[in-house]
Amino acid sequence: MNHHKPVLVKSFRALRPIPEKASEVIAPPYDVLNSDEARERATDKPLSFLHVSKPEIDLPVDTPFDAPEVYNQGSKNLSRLISEKILIEEDEYSLYIYEISTNGCKQTGVAFAASLEAYDLNLIKKHEHTSPRKEADRVQNISTLNAQTGPVLLTYKSNMHLKEILSKIIVQDPIYDVYADEGPRHKIWKLSNVDEIDSILQIINNMDALFIADGHHRSAAAARVRDQRKQGNANHNGRENYNYFLAVAFPHSEMNILGYNRVVKGINNHTQESLLQAINLSFDVELSPVPFKPSKPKQFGMYIEGMWYKLELKQTLHNIADPVKSLDVSLLHDYLLEPILGIKDERTDQRIDFVGGAKGLQALAAKVDSKEMVAAFSLYPTSIDDLISVAKAGKVMPPKSTWFEPKLLDGLLSHRID
């Protein structure tokens, strides 16, 4: 039997904006904005990449995001950016160094084309299920655009040798130096030195594994588009661009995860008193004079009827060996959301919603004070080490376990698959 380990990653020819237009093109990732927010964000911005990643904004307001005409509109918008020479495709295969700095923290990683064969063999590891409708949307998007326009965020166990190579390169001038609307600064360097490219590829391809941090729908969709293209190509040889997906990878020690908080629409016929009594069986409960932000694992904040409470999982329930069951999102689910509030499946239950940690505790209180929600829960962030141990165990995290911040931008680097 042939046990060759496939390459994990390779260089690629990027489709990218001309530098002087980059700040007009860049957009947040397609999945952090809804259609209305995207429409507002792209007003008077004809070059915004939102016209490609969320093309429903150019159609009548009630158009569903996955209507067939949406994808055709996106393809038209991408073609226009290319024909107007706003976006250009590189002649040569290259790698890119991607640095994001925000609030004094820096992440420096590499952008490349990641192998779908390695993804199939679980050398690029997942930790999350995808939702069918969202995955189908990305399949249509990639297929119609003939391009992957949103990079998948990967992480790898920190590697000193790679770090040294990257730090030597980033003293030069970047090809892009732009600010996202949210504040983070994004810089990209293009590598043209073949020896540098080879040594970086060699280090990454010798790693045991890469881990998907953010972008499970994009990678799953890329694999499905590859399957379709392969069927339709009598001369398929495995080297076509559709056998790879666009990705940016950062070392695990530089990844920043925020809590992914929960808000609920009802408390399952409890009074506030009976709710607190039920919670008290598994948690130590204290009234908190200030909005409660957990400072360590197994602590939770709860906001209800204008009051913040600190909940701490009782000591007797602490030693859980399973890497998934011991996550804070699992503990909150197993000891409170399901047994007390009756929420069995957080992916499908309409009574629960999720608020990324970037929005802060005031966003949670606002949802409850406005009566849109009845209670809110703040969580301590899942650690990157937890994510890696879940992925290594071949297990899956509960939905909405991690909120990575800052996000990669759409529009700076795209990968054509035709």
- How does residue 342 score in pLDDT terms, banded at 50, 70 and 90? very high
| Residue of higher predicted confidence among 119 and 105 | 119
| 317-324: average pLDDT | 89
Q: Is residue 387 domain-resident?
A: no
What is the CA 117 to chain-centroid distance, rounded? 21
Question: Residue 2's pLDDT is what?
Answer: 53
Answer yes or no: do 141 and 282 share one domain: no
Answer yes or no: do 225 and 269 share one domain: no
Question: Residue 3's pLDDT is what?
Answer: 60
Please say if the pLDDT value at position 394 is more than 60: yes
Answer yes or no: do 286 and 208 share one domain: no
Per residue in 367-383, pLDDT tens? 999 999 999 999 999 99
> What length does the chain have?
418
DSSP annotation of 8 reads S
| 390-405: average pLDDT | 92
Q: Going along 195-341, which residue ranges are E strands?
A: 210-214, 244-251, 257-258, 260-264, 283-288, 299-304, 307-313
Answer yes or no: do 162 and 267 share one domain: no
Answer yes or no: do 174 and 234 share one domain: yes
What is the span of the domain harbouring residue 309?
A: 260-380
Please say if the pLDDT value at position 5 is more than 90: no
Answer yes or no: do 233 and 358 share one domain: no
Please say if the pLDDT value at position 415 is more than 70: yes
Give the residue from 58, 87, 84 showing the smallest Cα distance to 71: 58
Answer yes or no: do 276 and 293 share one domain: yes
What percent of the chain clears pLDDT 90, i.e. is strictly above it? 91
Q: Is residue 61 domain-resident?
A: yes
Please say if the pLDDT value at position 36 is more than 70: yes
CATH code of the domain containing 369: 3.30.1760
Q: Is residue 388 domain-resident?
A: no
Amino acid at 1: M
| 71-90: average pLDDT | 98
Please say if the pLDDT value at position 359 is more than 70: yes
Answer yes or no: do 221 and 290 share one domain: no
Contact 255, 154 (CB under 8 A): no
| 174-180: average pLDDT | 97
- How does residue 323 score in pLDDT terms, banded at 50, 70 and 90? very high
Q: Is residue 390 domain-resident?
A: no
Please say if the pLDDT value at position 343 is more than 80: yes
Question: Residue 104's pLDDT is what?
Answer: 85
Question: Residue 103's pLDDT is what?
Answer: 85
Q: Is residue 340 domain-resident?
A: yes
Judge if pTM exceeds 0.85.
Answer: yes
Q: Going along 7-47, which residue ranges are E strands?
A: 9-10, 14-17
Please say if the pLDDT value at position 1 is more than 80: no
**Which tokens is 282 given?**
């598994």
Answer yes or no: do 345 and 219 share one domain: no
Please say if the pLDDT value at position 4 is more than 80: no
Answer yes or no: do 249 and 267 share one domain: no
| 26-54: average pLDDT | 95
Q: Is residue 399 domain-resident?
A: no
Please say if the pLDDT value at position 114 is more than 70: yes
Answer yes or no: do 251 and 281 share one domain: no
Please say if the pLDDT value at position 67 is more than 90: yes
Question: Residue 321's pLDDT is what?
Answer: 87
Answer yes or no: do 39 and 147 share one domain: yes
Per residue in 202-222, pLDDT tens? 999 999 999 999 999 999 999
- How does residue 135 score in pLDDT terms, banded at 50, 70 and 90? very high
Contact 233, 329 (CB under 8 A): no
Q: Is residue 400 domain-resident?
A: no
Question: Residue 81's pLDDT is what?
Answer: 98
Q: Is residue 144 domain-resident?
A: yes
Domain total in the chain: 2
**Which tokens is 335 given?**
């000891």
